[in-house]
């Protein structure tokens, strides 16, 4: 399978929608077009983590793809509404740590977050360097909740477009909670320039809805979506973190940058 086959499938879908003058399309069409091009995983076609993965024709026309529920997707104008560019790093920190046995055994997304959590980088970034935690009393220190998948339903806005997603599966890479403040984390390798906003928005909205409609009502103070990127270096890895929230929790386009920092892992073994 050629490296650009996914692009060919997307380009054909865009061409079909343009001919129809209707830019909504269903998974059934994705499967049909994928089969014609020999693309083996049609469910992966509309999963684009950053804007660099868009084919040229979409980039040239400022077009991106959004999921609108019930197996449907839509080509929409405004790439920067779907993807968000990472802001410059505000603070650079040399983080002294003792390398653990499994720290670099694999480079998976879950391992990135495990290392950052075990080294308390996530705690430091989210709750501040002056925060002291009680290691004995569990109620006085941050709690970590590991990756989980769940099915839920969402209703929210994409600008003027109303979204209704029924019984969809979402994955939350990692959650940390401390005194009613919640951080949900997404981890990646490499040097991406942008990310798809829904990656942090859906976990954010999951907890926001819980704060309004479940036994957690009134108990959640703040929710932050945090993106963690690991950059490999010749001698040291660096973990870069960006924190966001949403000015209107029910509109995915209202993403708001909070802060950023880079932690250079300095081995002191």
Residue pLDDT, tens place only, 198-250: 999 999 999 999 999 888 888 999 999 999 999 988 878 899 999 999 999 99
Using CA atoms in the order 31, 36, 39, 42, what is the torsion angle rounded to 10 degrees?
-10
Sign of the torsion formed by the C-alpha atoms of 223, 247, 128 and 226: positive
Percent of the chain with pLDDT over 90: 62
* Domain range list for the chain: 5-83, 92-267
Domain 5-83 coded CATH 1.10.10: yes
**What is the pLDDT at residue 250?**
96
Strands of the sheet containing 63-69, edge to edge, are 24-26, 72-77, 63-69
Which tens digit of pLDDT belongs to each residue from 126-174?
987 555 555 544 456 788 888 888 889 999 999 888 888 888 888 888 9
How many residues does this entry show for the chain? 269
40 pLDDT more than 60? yes
Q: What is the mean pLDDT of the chain?
A: 88
Q: Enumerate the β-bridge partners of residue 95.
A: 265
102 pLDDT more than 70? no
Would strands 181-189 and 194-196 be described as parallel, antiparallel, or unpaired? unpaired
Split at pLDDT 50, 70, 90, the class of 255 is very high
Model confidence, pTM:
0.89
Mean pLDDT of 35-49: 92
Split at pLDDT 50, 70, 90, the class of 2 is very low
């Amino acid at each position: 399978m050629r490296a650009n086959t996914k692009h060919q499938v997307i380009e054909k879908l865009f061409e079909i929608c343009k001919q129809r003058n209707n830019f909504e399309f269903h998974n059934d069409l994705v499967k049909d077009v994928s089969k014609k091009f020999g693309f083996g995983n049609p469910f992966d076609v509309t999963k684009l983590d950053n804007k660099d993965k868009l084919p040229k024709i979409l980039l040239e026309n400022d077009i991106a793809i959004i999921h609108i529920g019930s197996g449907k997707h839509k080509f929409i104008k405004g790439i920067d509404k779907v993807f968000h560019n990472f802001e410059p790093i505000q603070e650079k920190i040399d983080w002294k740590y003792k390398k653990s046995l499994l720290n670099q055994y694999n480079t998976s997304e879950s391992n990135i977050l495990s290392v950052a959590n075990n080294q308390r980088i996530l705690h430091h970034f989210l709750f501040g360097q002056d925060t002291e935690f009680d290691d004995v009393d569990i109620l006085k220190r941050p709690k970590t909740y590991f990756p989980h998948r769940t099915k839920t339903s969402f209703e929210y806005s994409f600008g003027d477009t109303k979204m209704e997603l029924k019984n969809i599966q979402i994955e939350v890479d990692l959650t940390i909670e401390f005194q009613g403040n919640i951080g949900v984390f997404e981890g990646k390798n490499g040097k991406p320039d942008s990310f798809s906003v829904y990656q942090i928005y859906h976990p954010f909205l999951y907890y926001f809805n819980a704060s309004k409609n479940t036994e957690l009502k009134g108990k959640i103070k703040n929710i932050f979506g945090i993106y963690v990127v690991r950059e490999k270096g010749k001698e040291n890895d660096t973990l870069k973190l960006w924190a966001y929230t949403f000015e209107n929790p029910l509109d995915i386009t209202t993403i708001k940058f909070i802060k950023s920092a880079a932690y250079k892992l300095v081995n002191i073994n």
